Amino acid sequence: MTEAHPLSAPAAPVSDEPLMPPDVRKTGYVYDPSMTLHSTLAAEPHPERPERITSIFTMLQMHGCIHRMHRILSREASLAEVSLVHTEELWHSLEETVQLPEDKLRELIAFYEAKSLYLNRSSTLCARLSCGSAIELCKAVASGRVQNGFAIVRPPGHHAEPDGSQGFCLYNNVAIATRTLLHHAARRIMILDWDVHHGNGTQRIFWNDSNVLYISLHRYENGTFYPGTTFGNYDQVGGPDALGTSVNVPWPCTGMGDADYLHAFQQCILPIAYEFAPDLVIVSAGFDAADGDVLGGCRVSPTGYAHMTHQLMALAHGRLAVVLEGGYTLDAISRSALAVVRTLLGDALPPLPPGTAASTAAVHTVQQVIRAQAPHWQCMRTAMSMAPMSSGTGACHSFSLPSLFLEARAARLWSSYQLLPLPMYSDGLAPHQVLCSSSFVLSTTDTFVVFVHDLGTLHQDASGAPYVSDAADALVAWATSRHYAILDLCTLTPLPREAVCSPTHERVPDTTPTHLYAHIESLWDHVCALSAAKRFVLVGLGTGCHVLMHLIAARALHHRVAGVVQVLGTNPIPLVPKSHPELKSWYLEHAHVVCPPNHPHLAWSDQASSGKRLGRVQRATSACPMDTLAQTIPLLEDMLRS
């Protein structure tokens, strides 16, 4: 049991407002002036000082917010709760250290300064209070006792890692609250960290946890800004079992403001959040990106924080818990916290000034984030494929790389092989590119090749010049040289570079854009089925493999199909649906499924567990799906000879 310490520092009084009935849904708060007891023993003042929380609480009192809020009682976190995230060794080490005489603690100042920490006799008490109070607020929000709430706590937590305290943080308050709730009250939790520093501890704790989406906007500057690692770069997307659940928006410079943060919210953060569909949203609310903060160097206004809060309130049925992290200029953090609380209370949102526009640095950074997350989120694949075609000014036009690639591709395949574009944009379905042999070939051929594939991948050559690899040429050249008809459907989905499989294929969700299923059915009904062809060959690449599996199950076509070749990138292997057991033997006999050497399926060797539903899986000689596709042409020849 921990012993309560007497209050020895002046602070604003805690409201004695009684707890409200559990059926009242409003904004809650938690605050305990005992957390001001954590203060430095050094002669120089420290940025993480007790006045941070008293200034916020006083500001909320002055503007009449506290009496409109439901008070959540503070408490200390237990060893069992802290151990959900941190090692017991860390707990015991901190407790033993703070029991040292004050002169011994002073001797350790230099040691702890190397970790951007300080300790006094009351530090672990305050850390337990900070952590336990964050847990209680999040529990109140998750249970519906309040709709949303604000935890005015210190010391902060998001830099604390499982086995070590650092960066002004002793225990990771938000991470411990999240783990506690995942055990009891929530299935999926999103953590939005808008502190100006990357929350290295929180990201590492949930790196491989697919139930927690961690999103951080922070100054990065090539890893030179605190905490000074590359862990917060845009390409850090999560562990092998949780790809896409770490989302980093790494600002490359100082001075980022409202428009930059809101651009990131609109373009990548909110789309991913909606797709993740959390049960609860927790904000690691550092206010050191606020305009005027001495350490942050950014320019987010109280209005900017209000708008970010308002947009987050649209998630998780409004269940939003805001937990204080950093922020070191008292006026800036107090005004920012006031704006957030007023938004939580439902006050009118202050308007952004006219002409608010994101900087070039922000736009470029967000584009990098979208590209990094595209293999893991359908909304990001759509965002990358469907970039605006016009600048909107009327003075000039800009074109996305995918659109330029598709235009050039259509022109090239017409010039070389006389493939015609088919207009297939209907009923609000997302666009894609469909190219097909001429009507003369369709009416005279006895063999039809249906090729469904992902968008080519953007690369750079040795000089840095960009180029796009295209999967079509070898296959189209082969088909047209034999006077076969060919239908080429480009899905506008980028070929994934990271493995998105799991050991049990049944548990991997099909993330193929559903509009592609409607498209392939329409193409089959209105083009393929009406042709003179007596036999078909189906060829899939990447996402196209799942699209073709859907077509096989949706249409009774297997008696017309001579063979199927599926060339995987790192996509999950498509399975014959359990609802069509009659297709299993046919698919095993007619389908060649070719995986790159590093595909997880080949490492797990679990084909037996799925039996005939996988087809005949074989290892490619190249890790490049484009090369593998060209090397499968002999398989197609064999299928058509048999």
In a domain, 8, yes or no: no
In a domain, 626, yes or no: yes
Sequence-distant (≥ 6) Cβ neighbours of residue 604 within 8 angstroms: 503
In a domain, 20, yes or no: no
Q: Could you tell me the pTM of the whole model?
A: 0.61
Contact by Cβ (8 Å): 192, 282 = yes
Question: Model confidence over 133-168: pLDDT tens digits?
Answer: 999 999 999 999 999 999 999 999 999 999 999 999
| 411 and 329, same domain (yes or no) | no
| 326 and 421, same domain (yes or no) | no
More confident residue, 422 or 271: 271
CA-to-CA distance for 35 and 52, rounded, in angstroms?
10
Using 50, 70 and 90 to split pLDDT, how confident is the model at 603? low
| 351 and 231, same domain (yes or no) | yes
CATH of the domain at 177: 3.40.800.20
Beta-sheet strands, E only, within 83-162 = 148-152
Q: Is 397 a residue whose pLDDT tops 70?
A: no
Q: Is 215 a residue whose pLDDT tops 70?
A: yes
Parallel, antiparallel, or unpaired: how do β-strands 458-460 and 466-468 relate? antiparallel
- Average of pLDDT values for 416-445? 74
Residue 487, beta-bridge partner list = 436, 450
What is the per-residue burial (b if ≥16 Cβ within 10 Å, else e) of 511-520?
A: bbbebbbbbb
- Average of pLDDT values for 313-320? 96
Domain end, chosen from 357, 384, 411, is at 384
In a domain, 572, yes or no: yes
For 153, what's the count of Cα atoms within 13 Å in the CB-facing half-sphere?
A: 43
Active site residue 159: yes
Overall number of domains in the chain: 2
More confident residue, 291 or 3: 291
Domain end, chosen from 353, 384, 415, is at 384
CA-to-CA distance for 287 and 302, rounded, in angstroms?
10
pLDDT of residue 153: 98
| 563 and 622, same domain (yes or no) | yes
* Structural domain of 626: 401-459+466-498+511-641
Percentage of residues in the chain having pLDDT higher than 90: 57
Q: Is 266 a residue whose pLDDT tops 70?
A: yes
CA-to-CA distance for 572 and 63, rounded, in angstroms?
55
| 250 and 276, same domain (yes or no) | yes
Encoding tokens for residue 607? 């084909």
Neighbour count for residue 362 (Cβ, 10 Å): 24
pLDDT of residue 543: 85
| 412 and 355, same domain (yes or no) | no
CATH of the domain at 547: 3.40.50.1820
Q: Is 21 a residue whose pLDDT tops 50?
A: no
Domain end, chosen from 319, 350, 384, is at 384
Contact by Cβ (8 Å): 510, 546 = yes
In a domain, 395, yes or no: no
pLDDT of residue 431: 54
pLDDT of residue 188: 96
Task: Check residue 394 and report its DSSP letter.
Answer: S
CA-to-CA distance for 455 and 405, rounded, in angstroms?
9
Percentage of residues in the chain having pLDDT higher than 70: 84
Of 547, 543, 378, 566, nearest to 456 by C-alpha is 543
| 475 and 346, same domain (yes or no) | no
| 376 and 412, same domain (yes or no) | no
Using 50, 70 and 90 to split pLDDT, how confident is the model at 103? confident
pLDDT of residue 568: 87
In a domain, 12, yes or no: no
| CA separation, residue 455 to residues 35, 102, 414, 536 (Å) | 55, 64, 18, 23
Residue 537, beta-bridge partner list = 449, 563
CA-to-CA distance for 269 and 549, rounded, in angstroms?
32
Q: Is 333 a residue whose pLDDT tops 60?
A: yes
pLDDT of residue 15: 43
Residue 581 burial class via C-beta count within 10 angstroms: exposed 0-12, middle 13-18, buried 19 and up = exposed
Helix (H) or strand (E) holding 360: helix 360-373
| 80 and 217, same domain (yes or no) | yes
CA-to-CA distance for 468 and 458, rounded, in angstroms?
5
| 532 and 580, same domain (yes or no) | yes
Task: Check residue 390 and report its DSSP letter.
Answer: S
In a domain, 379, yes or no: yes
pLDDT of residue 184: 81
| 376 and 429, same domain (yes or no) | no
| 373 and 410, same domain (yes or no) | no
Residue 642 burial class via C-beta count within 10 angstroms: exposed 0-12, middle 13-18, buried 19 and up = exposed
In a domain, 623, yes or no: yes
pLDDT of residue 399: 57
Contact by Cβ (8 Å): 581, 609 = no
Q: Which listed residue (159, 307, 519, 546) is catalytic?
A: 159
Give me the sheet containing 447-455, strands edge to edge: 420-421, 433-436, 485-494, 447-455, 535-541, 561-567, 591-595, 616-619
- Average of pLDDT values for 385-394? 47
Question: Model confidence over 162-198: pLDDT tens digits?
Answer: 999 999 999 999 999 999 999 788 999 999 999 999 9
